[in-house]
Amino acid sequence: MTRVSFEFFPPREEKSLATLVDNVAGHLGQNKPEYFSVTYGAGGSTRDGTFETVSKLIGAGFDATPHLSIGADSDETICDLVKRYKDIGVKRIVTLRGDVPSGAGAPRITSNAESLVTLLRKNFDDAFELLVAAYPEVHPDAANANDDLDFFERKVKAGADAAITQYFYNPYAYLDFLERCRARGIDIPVYVGIMPITNFDSIVRFSAKAGADIPRWMLKKLEAMQHDDRAIRDFGIEVCSRLCEDLIQQGVPGFHFYTLNRWGATQRILDNLGL
């Protein structure tokens, strides 16, 4: 069975949080997701907001999973937060290095997701399922694809149970990544991150930053419809639905939707797939 999960970011205002939990999670929850995950702002900037969103989702009866990154926090601060998550019933954590907050100067790699996985395993044993990020199209910080896979393998050996990919629109990037993982004996489930396209400027800007490729044929079509958000959304739904169909045929274990706190486009993709 293909499982699904949905990603949210923590809203800034109380009212938006209530809408997210009651309306967006309410709608998407009907698809019986594995969980809703909640992102963690670069450098720990949403520590409280992520916690509050996770606890509100749990309070409403949903399974919620926080993202956690190292930022500038000490091991003690991180472990205190994780203990609070354990106390409210969290069973799983998306474990990341995280991005450097904008304005903080050039990116430095002072620590990585591998060290966070190690820290959590050391202090919490098997209390949580630990998910890590995977980059079928290669992380922008990596010198090459092989080095990138070395670092991915280190996260898995440190104790990651499963991975979620950065989004991509070319299924072969994922299939090639999986093949290279399997050749090294890495056999954890790798769930596919799906980014519905709803706005031209945002998808172009975000993809450039994340190192996600928008294939030329797609970019040309998107450019031609860039001032028509409805056309962009329909095209994005069609592309993502076909991508998911291809991957289901290839036996993908599941999809993780980057919902951007909206349910419409994600729901239409799921309806197309009959999931």
Q: At its nearest, how many Å lie between ligand FAD and the CB of residue 166?
A: 4
Given 7, 34, 223, 245, the catalytic residue:
7
Q: At its nearest, how many Å lie between ligand FAD and the CB of residue 157?
A: 13
Please tell me the count of residues contacting ligand FAD according to CB under 6 A.
24
- C-alpha 42/C-alpha 180 separation (Å) is 30
Candidate ranges 36-44, 57-65, 172-180, 222-230; the one touching ligand FAD (CB under 6 A) = 36-44
Quick one: which of 5, 55, 65, 166 contacts ligand FAD (CB under 6 A)? 166
Q: At its nearest, how many Å lie between ligand FAD and the CB of residue 275?
A: 19
Among residue numbers 100 through 139, which ones bind ligand FAD (CB under 6 A)? 109, 112-113, 133, 135, 139
Would you say the C-alpha torsion 43, 46, 52, 58 has a positive or negative sign? negative
C-alpha torsion angle, residues 213, 219, 222, 223 (rounded to 10): 130
Quick one: which of 142, 218, 231, 273 contacts ligand FAD (CB under 6 A)? 142
Which amino acid makes up residue 267? Answer: Q
Smaller CB distance to ligand FAD: residue 129 or 141?
Answer: 141
For 258, the 3-state DSSP assignment is strand
Smaller CB distance to ligand FAD: residue 67 or 92?
Answer: 67
Number of Cβ atoms within 10 Å of the Cβ of 135 = 23
Among residue numbers 214 through 253, which ones bind ligand FAD (CB under 6 A)? none
Interface mask toward ligand FAD for 191-210; x: CB under 6 A: --x-----------------
Is 7 annotated in the active site?
A: yes
Smaller CB distance to ligand FAD: residue 122 or 220?
Answer: 122
- Please choose, from the candidates 69, 14, 1, the residue with its C-alpha nearest in 3D space to the C-alpha of residue 38: 69
Residue 190, C-beta contacts closer than 8 angstroms, at least 6 positions apart? 134, 162, 163, 164, 165, 174, 177, 178, 181, 253
Task: Decide: 113 and 153 in contact? Cβ < 8 Å.
Answer: no
Largest distance between two CA atoms of the chain: 52
Q: At its nearest, how many Å lie between ligand FAD and the CB of residue 70?
A: 9
Half-sphere exposure of 107 (CA within 13 A, CB side): 12
Quick one: which of 97, 120, 194, 268 contacts ligand FAD (CB under 6 A)? 97
Q: At its nearest, how many Å lie between ligand FAD and the CB of residue 155?
A: 6
10 Å CB burial of residue 115 (0-12, 13-18, 19+) is middle
CA angle 20, 98, 191 (to 5 degrees): 65
Active site residues: 7
Chain residues that interact with ligand FAD, rule: CB under 6 A: 39-40, 42, 67, 69, 94, 96-99, 109, 112-113, 133, 135, 139, 141-142, 148, 151, 155, 164, 166, 193
